Amino acid sequence: MAAMGKCDAISRKVISLGAALGAVLVWASAARADHARHASFGIARANGEQIGFSLKAEVECDSLPLAGRVRCIVRLRPVGGTLHFSDVIVLSAPDFARPVRDRVAFRDGQRSDPAGADLPLTLTATGEGDGELYVMGRATVCGDRGCRPVQGEATARVVVGAPPGAP
């Protein structure tokens, strides 16, 4: 008889756990349906189609006549919201001009401009050459309906010394 009572207690706990799990699944399903109805973020095109948040990234590098420090600027501009955090990661750089740092972000205590960010990037050129710098900007862009992580990629030509074909 005692074993039967113990079995009933376990059965009640299993049923209780099953009911709780069922309630969670029903809630999650309702939340998912609500999210599907209200999943649009950001701005809309002229035809009404939602395009959401995105990030426009551009990079420019100064040319150098001799080996040394190549100064680049990465411009990150939010589309569909305001910028709240940003950084840039060097994905690839020419062998003759390696980055001083692979990742550049706003320093602690520095406030990001909601309209965009200009992040300085420095390469150390050890010789002459002509190649491509490839970077990825990352940011958090926020609007009326929340914040989203976004990213954008950009390339720039890095020239140290006389460009190919120059006299």
Does the pLDDT of residue 147 top 50, yes or no? yes
* Residue 36: Cβ within 10 Å count: 8
Do 71 and 123 have their domain in common? Answer: yes
Do 68 and 129 have their domain in common? Answer: yes
CATH number of 89's domain? 2.60.40.10
**Is residue 47 domain-resident?**
no
**Is residue 117 domain-resident?**
yes
Do 33 and 71 have their domain in common? Answer: no
**Is residue 6 domain-resident?**
yes
Under 8 Å between Cβ of 53 and 150: yes
**Is residue 98 domain-resident?**
yes
Does the pLDDT of residue 75 top 70, yes or no? yes
Structure tokens at 102: 């692979």
Under 8 Å between Cβ of 71 and 94: no
**Is residue 63 domain-resident?**
yes
Domain that holds residue 71: 52-160
Do 6 and 64 have their domain in common? Answer: no
Do 133 and 68 have their domain in common? Answer: yes
Do 145 and 70 have their domain in common? Answer: yes
- What's the pLDDT at 165? 62
Please report the beta strands in 101-145, taking only residues with DSSP state E, as ranges in sequence order: 103-105, 117-125, 129-143
Do 13 and 94 have their domain in common? Answer: no
Say how many Å lie between the first and final Cα of the chain, rounded: 103
Do 56 and 106 have their domain in common? Answer: yes
**Is residue 142 domain-resident?**
yes
Does the pLDDT of residue 159 top 70, yes or no? yes
Under 8 Å between Cβ of 167 and 107: no
pTM exceeds 0.75: no
Number of structural domains the chain divides into:
2
Over residues 115-143, the pLDDT tens digits come to: 889 999 999 999 999 999 999 999 999 88
Do 34 and 59 have their domain in common? Answer: no
Do 66 and 31 have their domain in common? Answer: no
